[in-house]
Every structure is written in C-alpha cells, then in structure tokens.
Amino acid sequence: MNNYNDFKSGDFIADPAFRAWVYGFKQQSDIDWEYIASQSHSVGKEMEIARLFLKNIEDKTIPVSDLYIERFSERILENHRKLSPSIKLSSRRWYEVSSRLFYMAAAIIMSFGIGWFYYTYSQKQSVNTDSISWAAPEQKLTSRVNRTKSPELVVLKDGSKITLQPNSTITYHEAFDGAERNVQLEGEAFFDVVKNPDRPFLVYFNDLTVRVLGTSFNIRSYGKEEGSRVTVKTGKVSVSANRETSPPQNHTDLSSSAIMLTANQEVFYKKAQGYFERSVASRTQIVDKTISENDFVFNETPLSTIFSKLDKAYGIPIIFDEQQIYGCSLTASLADEPLLEKLNLICRTMNGSYEVIDGQIVINIKSCRNSLQ
C-alpha cells in the first residue's frame, strides 16, 4: 500500500490507480481518493494539480511507455517544488477547482512539453465487453463517469448530446460509426438525439432498451431503485424489456411488446414484477407550435373545445363523453399551468375528475356550472 501522504503531483500522475480514478475506470483496489484528499490540504493540492493535468490530455491517444511517464513525472515534481512557494491556496477543499492551480498545471505543461500527457489510460479503450451484449469483443468502447455533484454534457460524434447526471455512467463505441448508435447507461441522463433514419439510436439500461431515430428523452435507472423511468420530451421512442433477463410475466400488462411513447408521456418499469406502467409526465410542455399559452384564456368556451385544444397542444389523448359535457362551458385563464394542473382546475370547477390510463386521460364530468369568475 502506497503512503499517499508523501506523494507529490508527479507521483500521483504516475500512479495507475490514481489515473484510473481520474478517468472513471474500474479500479483494481478500493482506494477512497476523496478521503485521502480531505485528510491533508497539501496532499489535496498535489492531487488537484495531477488531476487537472490528466483531464487536460484526456482525449489524446499517443501511447508512451511507463518508464517515459516515470521520468517525466519526476521532472514535473521538481518543477512543481520550484513553483510551490509562490502559490497561495485558499482553504477550499481539493475538489473545488482553483484557477491558480489550473494556471500552475498549464505552466508545467508548457515547461516540459506534453509528450507523455498524450498518454491515455489503456482501460479507457478496453472497457470489458463481456456484460455488454451489443458490443463485439474487438470493438473499442469509451466510458464517461460523472463523479461530480452537477450534470455534465457529453457530445457524441454524431452530434447527439447527453446530459449525464451525478453518479451516472455511459458507455459507447469509441468510433460511434456503426449501423446502430448504441449507448449503455447506468444512472440517469437526458438524451437529445440527432435524427438519422439510417442509424437508429439505442440506449441499454437495467434490462431495458430504448430505441429512437431522433428525439429527446430522459432515462432514470439507478440499480438501488425499484424500477426504471423513461420520459419523452419530444418525438417518439419505443421501450422494450430484454426478454432473456426479464422475470416471467404474471400480470396483465404491456410487457409483451415494445411500449411506444410520445411527447409528454412516460413509462415506469417495475423490474421485480416485470411490467410497465405508462402515464403522463408530471412536467409537460406544448408540442404543437401553432398553440401558445395565451390560447388557454377562455370566455364561455365549450368544454369539448377546451379538451380538444389540450389534446392537440400536448399530444396526449383526452377521452371524454360528448353527451356528458353537452352544454358545459368555462370562463377562466389556464395559461402558464402544466397540463395536469389545467385539468385539475377544470375538474374542480365542473365537479368532475380525470384518470390517467395507459398514457391517456379519461375525463368524467358529473355536472357543470357555466363559468368560473
């Protein structure tokens, strides 16, 4: 076990376990780097210098030998010792990035050249494909891990954007040029997929697969939670269970085929029971650009007209009985309210209720008044 309390920045850069941690790869040991940094301000400073150095060259791929790394690490260490007396650091924790640290790391790079820093830790290009069904053994995969407390943006080579939430990981082909655009997700991420009918985009997570051509949607799938949730913002996606790992069906549900979701719909998959529940997203937005929030100010407007406008605006089927609401009208402003809150206001006014069934809204109006003052 190394005595990391004696390490300088060059020592950390040369340490394989530290590099694995910086680049988000699986470590061979259970070293708690954040704990080590928190125990000593000076050690935390050295770790931050090394981390910034390694992150700066993360996407470079020129290989060099371990001996080369070792020799340049020593030169970096010596240069850092010369620079250290002039550097005054704040009392912030090591992971709160200091601009002075960044400039010091840049100075070291400029001083010694970036030869070995083009070195990329080999595990980044040799992710284990055994547990990834869509990856061939010879394919090189890249993993991105968000170890921060804030979302991180990842832009794929096709232009698709992934907003990766904290404690989440995505894995994908390094080249990202196959007939299918495959991504493995652990955790939560929002996907904004560039449309390409010839190359479908597939996301694999927690025994499920989402398939799209071009759309935007969110997936939440943490292993510790009871299930996974897919919420569609725009476009259309299909969600299906991977049959070879799904439990036997013992529930009358939607699991026998792919579940189609459109904008403002979501599905929750209960893994233990092996079935889907499709519903309306709690956060909805208008998808028909010919309609704005100002169109939801009503004056003696028939309920049938209001429900039809809501259906068109949000793309969610709203089912109601024409005879039941015949003669019912509403005077009210429903602007700037989410879809479900609009429906709550209508139903409270009209002594009615609604139910979300399989991603559709079923209205039941018992009686109605003419208007809401």
Question: For residue range 69-94, what is the model confidence (pLDDT) as tens digits?
Answer: 555 555 555 555 554 444 443 334 44
Q: What is the mean pLDDT of residues 306-332?
A: 92
Say which DSSP state 296 is in: G
Report the 10 Å Cβ neighbour count for 72. 21
SS3 content of the chain, % helix, strand, coil (to 5): 30, 30, 40
Which letter, b or e, does each residue of 328-356 get, where b requires 16 or more Cβ atoms within 10 Å of its Cβ? bbbebebeeebbbebbebbbebbebebeb
Return the closest-CA partner of residue 317 out of 254, 261, 361, 282: 361
The three-state secondary structure class of 220 is strand
Q: What is the mean pLDDT of residues 127-145?
A: 67
Q: Is the pLDDT of residue 183 over 50?
A: yes
Q: What is the pLDDT of residue 138?
A: 60
User: Could you give the CA distance from residue 187 to residue 228 in angstroms, rounded to a whole number?
Assistant: 9
Domains annotated on the chain, with CATH: 4-122 (no CATH), 127-280 (2.60.120.1440), 293-365 (3.55.50.30)
Cβ 276 vs Cβ 206: under 8 Å: no
User: Could you give the CA distance from residue 103 to residue 56 in angstroms, rounded to a whole number?
Assistant: 12
The three-state secondary structure class of 279 is strand
Q: What is the mean pLDDT of residues 8-25?
A: 81
> Do the bridges between strand 152-155 and strand 236-241 make them parallel or antiparallel, or are there none, so unpaired?
unpaired
The three-state secondary structure class of 107 is helix
Cβ burial of 110 (10 Å; 0-12, 13-18, 19+) is exposed
Strands (E), the chain: 141-146, 152-155, 161-164, 168-173, 181-192, 201-205, 208-212, 216-221, 227-234, 236-241, 259-262, 265-270, 275-280, 297-302, 318-319, 329-333, 352-357, 360-365
Which residue has better confidence, 198 or 107?
Answer: 198
Instruction: Give 189's pLDDT tier (boundaries 50, 70, 90).
Output: very high
Tell me how long the chain is: 373
Q: What is the pLDDT of residue 262?
A: 93
User: Could you give the CA distance from residue 252 to residue 254 in angstroms, rounded to a whole number?
Assistant: 7
Backbone angles phi, psi at 221, to 5 degrees: -155, 80
User: Could you give the CA distance from residue 321 to residue 351 in angstroms, rounded to a whole number?
Assistant: 15
Q: What is the pLDDT of residue 179?
A: 87
Cβ 288 vs Cβ 276: under 8 Å: no
Q: Which of 34-38, 137-141, 222-226, 334-338 has the highest mean pLDDT?
A: 334-338
